[in-house]
Amino acid sequence: MKLPRRAIFILVLFVIVGVTAFAFQRRFRYMNPEEDAPIPENPTERTEFVFARLQYPQINIGGSLGAPGKLVPPTIPKRTASS
Partner 1 sequence: MGLKRLSRLHVRSMEEVVSLDDDRIFDYPWVYAVEVGHWELDDSQAARLREYLLRGGFLMVDDFHGSQDWQIFAEGIAKVFPDRPIVDIPDADAINHAVFDIEDRFQIPGIQFLYTGRESEYDGYDPHWRGVYDDKGRMMVAICHNSDLGDAWEHADEPQYPEKWTSRAYRMTLNYIVYAMTH
Residues forming the site for partner 1 (CB under 8 A) = 31, 34, 37, 39-45, 47-61, 69, 72-77, 79-81
CA–CA dist 33, 23 (Å, integer): 26
Instruction: Specify the residue, 1 or 45, whose C-beta has the smaller distance to partner 1.
Output: 45
CA–CA dist 71, 58 (Å, integer): 6
Q: How far is the CB of 74 from partner 1 (least distance, A)?
A: 7
Classify 64 as helix, strand or coil. strand
CA–CA dist 73, 59 (Å, integer): 11
Q: How far is the CB of 66 from partner 1 (least distance, A)?
A: 15
CA–CA dist 5, 38 (Å, integer): 59
Instruction: Specify the residue, 16 or 37, whose C-beta has the smaller distance to partner 1.
Output: 37
Q: How far is the CB of 27 from partner 1 (least distance, A)?
A: 17
Instruction: Specify the residue, 4 or 40, whose C-beta has the smaller distance to partner 1.
Output: 40
